[in-house]
Structure 1
Amino acid sequence: MKKSILLLVLLVSIFSCKQEKTNQKKNLISKPNVLFIAVDDLNNWISPIQNFSNVKTPNFDRLAKMGVTFTNAHVQAPLCGPSRASLMTGLRPSTTGIYGMTPDNLIRRKDNSATKDITFLPEYFEQNGYHTMGIGKLFHIHAPDSVFNESGGRIRGFGPYPNKRFVWDGFGTSKSKKEKYGRTSTDWGAFPENDTLMPDHQSVNWVAERLQRNYDKPFFMGLGFLRVHVPLYVPQKWFNLYPLDKIETPPYKADDLNDIPPVGMQINDLPMMPSTEWAKESGEWKKIVQAYLACISYVDYELGRVLEALESSKYADNTIIVLWSDHGYRLGEKGTFAKHALWETATKAPLLFAAPNLPKGKKINAPVEMLSIYPTLLELSGLPTYNRNEGNSLVAMMQNNSGIDNSYALTTFGMNNHAIKKDGFRYIQYEDGTQEFYDHSIDPNEWTNEAKNPKYKTQIEKMKKLLPKINVKWDAKSNYTFQPYFVEQKAKIGSN
């Protein structure tokens, strides 16, 4: 009798353990998948946000209707390397000292106290039972080794390139200075012959194929588009969408920079980029804008292929989508064609979420940060919060507008240079204490620096309180040799 009872207890125990494991597996599989899409150098011209010059982006519209569009999202650095490092670590540049370009494998090192034991965003999902995959430009180049369970890598460079550049040599007009400045890939024209020759097309093929596979756990899939990064080369059919005589050019004022502090002018010293005055005089301005719009429409097409692949898969009803860009891009505003600034057109970029538990077709105009992507994805996925995140989840804001009134965004470019966007104002403070202040209700183009206007003294003091309390020195492995200001700042301050 005792043996029978013991056997029964043993069988019940074994069954309970198996049932518990089965339930755990079911719970894990029921968690949502994540499709994480990065678009390089994409500003807010897309049709769900600004619809600049009647841009044709039906698939961005399609994604916007599926979820929530943030029309006023800002990056943590207006440069791809530090912006992406911030998003993937969940830490501000002022916390990590990653103000410049850092090799992917050196973001996390034992001699950087902030990042030495950080868990990157895809790794956090892996640690919580997800199968992780990634292809294309997600970190600065692709990703640190072993961050993804499956990596499709990335084709290095931003080609394909023609044998001869179309317009711009990459050095600019100040040839005597070129030893101090990096060479750029800035150029524009119709190339190659068809979409299949574009690296982004191949990346989408990789994603589409994996969306047809079976997985025994939820997945996190990252896709990093190279376009609309320069050179602005895409096939001719995308240029055909934008006849030159229909092209608008952005607002520009020739004396716009007369009231900018010296540090701001040093940061904006970019002779390797086309200047707006050169573009006007040479007749190239509309052609550059046309090329940028063509690149946006090309990326929109590839985004459509991704959405179609997802919708035709078994994962269509249980996948979170987030689409973001690493910074904005100036197309003649403030005198040049570049990111590299703490002004609105350089820091603002698209951010869109779609998920089963989010409203559809909603737009939020409050300023938010790309730093919020990490904690937002965790909450949407039902994962535990990661206590190292310096950003705030946007889920409550998307679901019930919670926090909109107090929302703000902080951008950093080099040590102790910061911009705050809040309540329709932009405040910039440079390392030497000099300032810029803009009231977007009357000056959306940021043409008049009101930092010395007593009318705004109280507002400026409020915004100064939002500046980071920690401003660490440059990370030893983070550099930006492209522009002399940053080389000199790091040399002067030193590094950790």
Structure 2
Amino acid sequence: MSGRLPDCWKEHVLTRKNILLISFDDAVAPWPYKTVFNEPLRTPNLDRLCEISTAFHAAYAQAPICGPSRASMMTTLMPHETGILDNEVYAFDRFSPQSIWTYLLNSGGYYCSSGGKVHHGYRPLKPENHDVIYSDGRKKFQDDMGLPKELRKRSKAFGGFRRGWGTPDGTDDDFYYDAKSADSAIKFLTDYDGDQPFYREVGFFSPHVPCATPARFKRMYDASNLRRPQEWNGHVPENDYIASTFPENEDFRSEQYWQDSIRNYFSAYSHGDYHFGRVMDALKNSRHAQNTIVVVVSDHGFHLGNRNLFRKTTLWEQSLRVPFIIFDPENPVGQEIHDPVALIDLGPTVLDFAGISPAGRRHGRSLRPFLSGKRDAGRAVPSFYKNHVSIRKGDYRIIRYDDGSFQLFNVETDFWQLRDLGTQHEQFAPMYQALKECSADCGFDFQNAVSAAADPAAGGSALQSP
């Protein structure tokens, strides 16, 4: 495999570590789900990594939907700055491949290798974009959005959302996107012997719906043991606007349908974790084991039944909170960080490990100092969806909807955000000010987005608690 350097570069470049980026799709931050539904989420390989890594338990996407989130994550720009506000726009129709921080790795001496979904879409990037960012060829893996008819005929429907297909064990395991992505990564880790440090992406489909897996992953979970949290109270439409903007998934009124759907999602997460484990075993057994940083993220989270929602695209915690794990072989110590951080921190963190300075104006910050004890509990982390905006700061989340209404939650005592604290709460004013300042810093036109009638300083009535 290529990756040879001129002799004059070798002394500088060979001191830098390799970087392995693992990206899951629609994956909730797993830690709360180990206990919350009675039947635990099983991710043994992620668990083992966390024992020797820094796990950020309050990491947030900047958009609760794939395309905008991934574009933000890879450019360290906010969604309104990239112009990617939905999944319909091809990112590189809005910005150049030179805008991606991976380009800085490539031009800075790294051998950059693609492999699976990191940018939005399951197809590889167009050649004119891919070849600017990556050092090797494009790779195409078939997505799992639907089972071929012949495979469905010999599979079992386990019930719940999209029927929860389980394919015959062993004979059809190689059908899946994650199997192909993992195989590609394993081959790379085994074969790469270049002089350049490498940056390698591994994009997984799991646990994205329809949550089809080999049947053994469905059988890992007893759906009848799953229990909804006692504080849930079905759909919670605080006002007509929220009810119409985030309508409930009515099928989730059924206990069994919810149980089967959660079993399917958990099984898909475990399926992705299995292939993640294969990649980690390959790294451990390779020549790169002692010189490779591993970073694990997801593009956004997912509602698993709270408010009778089974979806993304909200600015509540479940749709925004993601796994974010960093392993440094020089510091193999397990620790949990509960200070808010952001997916836009991914690029600055990777570049910091690579010894490369970010170019131009970017948001985000390197999380590398957190591995050595740094903390920042007071940071405001913003997220956007269309014209809605929210921040997580301290124990609280404030959301400003595009109709001018607000919600305020204590996410430490009210994880499911079932109790809006209202505009009269003592924390509303400081959180509102922090939201305005953060929005301005992000280039979001807060004053035009919120009319004078909705601004507390103007005494507007639109700020009444929903």
Q: Which runs of 5+ in 2 are unaligned?
A: 447-466
Partner of 2:7: 22
Offset, 1:266? 3.6
Paired residue type of 2:322? A
Distance 1:463 1:339 in 2: 25
Closer, same or farther in 2 for the Cα pair 1:41/1:28, shift >3 Å?
same
Paired residue type of 2:204? F
Paired residue type of 1:39? F
Closer, same or farther in 2 for the Cα pair 1:38/1:297, shift >3 Å?
same
1:365 to 338, 349, 358: 338
Closer, same or farther in 2 for the Cα pair 1:396/1:50, shift >3 Å?
farther
Partner of 1:393: 366
Partner of 1:487: none
Closer, same or farther in 2 for the Cα pair 1:357/1:385, shift >3 Å?
farther
1:242 to 204, 221, 225: 221
Structure whose CA Rg is larger: 1
Partner of 1:72: 58
Instruction: Provide runs of 4+ in structure 1 moved above 4 Å.
Output: 46-52, 164-170
Partner of 2:103: 123
Distance 1:145 1:449 in 2: 45
Distance 1:255 1:161 in 2: 32
Q: Which runs of 5+ in 1 are unaligned?
A: 1-19, 171-185, 474-496
Closer, same or farther in 2 for the Cα pair 1:442/1:254, shift >3 Å?
same
Paired residues for 1:142-221 under 5 Å: 142-143=124-125, 144-146=129-131, 147-159=133-145, 161=147, 163=149, 166=157, 186-194=162-170, 195-213=173-191, 214-221=193-200
Closer, same or farther in 2 for the Cα pair 1:238/1:454, shift >3 Å?
closer
Asked if 1:330 corresponds to 2:303, the answer is: yes
Closer, same or farther in 2 for the Cα pair 1:190/1:199, shift >3 Å?
same
**Residue by residue, what CA displacement relative to the aligned partner does 1:243-270 show, whole Å, maximum 9, x if unpaired?**
12322335663465232461x3343136
Partner of 1:408: 380
Distance 1:432 1:409 in 2: 22
TM-score by length of 1: 0.79
Q: Secondary structure at the match of 2:325?
A: strand
Asked if structure 1 preserves the Cα contact closer than 8 Å seen for 2:52 and 2:334, the reply is: yes
TM-score by length of 2: 0.84
Q: Secondary structure at the match of 2:130?
A: coil
Partner of 1:83: 69
Greater alpha carbon shift after TM alignment, 416-425 vs 432-441: 432-441
Paired residue type of 1:276? F
Identity of aligned residues (%): 25
Paired residue type of 2:50? A
Closer, same or farther in 2 for the Cα pair 1:201/1:454, shift >3 Å?
closer
Partner of 1:33: 18
2:86 to 100, 106, 128: 100
2:232 to 239, 253, 278: 253
Q: Secondary structure at the match of 1:37?
A: strand
Q: Number of paired residues?
A: 425
Partner of 1:317: 290
Q: CA RMSD in A?
A: 2.7
Asked if structure 2 preserves the Cα contact closer than 8 Å seen for 1:75 and 1:369, the reply is: yes
Asked if structure 1 preserves the Cα contact closer than 8 Å seen for 2:158 and 2:164, the reply is: yes
